[in-house]
Copies of this chain bind each other. A is one copy, B any other.
Amino acid sequence: MLEAKLAEASVLKKLLDAIKELVTDANFECSEEGITLQAMDNSHVALVAVKLVQNGFKKYRCDRPMPLGVNVGSLTKVLKCAKDDDICTLRAADEADVLNLVYEAKNSDRISSYDLKLMDIDAETLGIPKTSYEARIVLSSAEFTRIVRDLSLLGDSVRIEVSKEGVRFASDGEAANGNVLLKGRGPIGKVDRGPQGDDEDEEDGDGVKKEKKHEDDDDEDEAGEEEEGGKKKDKAKVKKEKSDDGDVEMDEDEDEIQPDEDGEEEKEDEEDEDGDGDGKKRKKKSKSSPKPAKKAKTVPSSKSKKGKAKADDGDDDDDEAVIIQMNSHVSLTFSLKYLVNFSKSSNLVKRVELYMSNDVPLLVSYDFGQGYIRYYLAPKIGDD
């Protein structure tokens, strides 16, 4: 038996709007931890993974794991019948063949109830790509949308290149070629966060080599780069790279940046679980407990994003700052069509995270408070 109450139907509406063109049918896997969905797009080029964590619900109960097979288009229609601020309750009995959605107007007297027919969907085995990456970029989701949309006017694919220069998005088209370079706020750091909410140290990647792995410096000073560590430091520290640039080496494993598989930790970072203060204080925390146990394993967890949003109190519009972390030079080419599609999720949250390693699928992660939506996209073969 499932009963999940969302304070605002809008989250669900946005999520389904985001995936409805990618996926036609999918299983919503409900369990004690929350609800997840994983599906390949119809052409099996992209993979979407959605998670709604249990504590993101106003009320959540799921006695035993149950997959709810839904037609995404139908669910989208049903969700269109909800107003954004309606309280939305999902219910499904064990073995039920319908999912019941109830919308209650905040102010009272309208109650709508919808029964969506469920279907059996083969739980296709989805290989979630590797979870550690050579590079991580965090930027405004709106800016990401703009970049891929702009470039999609010129060509079909985009080469994303992370170097000490910053991140470059480049597309070649018949009529014109174009590229966008994002400099990143402060020095380019190698790692920004630990997957579990630990604080990682960073080194700046300014001394990027043209080939992979090299230049990993572990000065935590550079940590200023990380979202939490501190915007404030960034300014002061920019280009504070030690002499170590160029001769760094990190364990492949440890230095890799990886997304947090668990959406829950975010809470900690985000809502100052630490109890040491509000989110902004966290910045302090980062500094205090800075020496990282390990210097890599960055996770794109919601925490990261969240942490950032809050931690970035300091200077200016944090939402606009670009954070670049890189262990080694990365250059990959992707289909813009998919990236444009992914960027629809930007209405869920202000920041998006990109994780990349050469020859490995790109991970585009939108972590919102109550969960995340992540997209994996295989690079085009002939990438430079």
Q: Which residues of A contact B (CB under 8 A)?
A: 71, 73-74, 77-78, 80-81, 83, 107-117, 143, 146, 150-151, 153-154, 166, 174-185, 320, 322
Contacts and interface: CB of A to CB of B under 8 A. Distances in A.
A84 to B, nearest CB: 12
B78 A178 contact: yes
Nearest to A112: B180
A176 B80 contact: no
Contacts of A180: 81, 110-112
A175 B111 contact: no
Identical copies of this chain, number: 2
A77 to B, nearest CB: 4
B109 A183 contact: yes
B78 A176 contact: yes
A178 B114 contact: yes
Contacts of A177: 114-115
A317 to B, nearest CB: 9
A109 B153 contact: no
A118 to B, nearest CB: 10
Nearest to A108: B183
A181 B111 contact: yes
A71 B173 CA distance: 14
Contact of A109 (B107, B146, B176, B184): B184
A107 to B, nearest CB: 8
B110 A175 contact: no
A370 to B, nearest CB: 24
Contacts of A320: 107
A179 B113 CA distance: 5
Interface pairs A-B: 10 shortest CB-CB: A74-B175, A109-B183, A81-B150, A114-B178, A112-B180, A77-B153, A116-B176, A115-B177, A111-B181, A78-B176
Contact of A71 (B107, B108, B109, B175): B175
Contacts of A151: 81
A193 B178 CA distance: 45
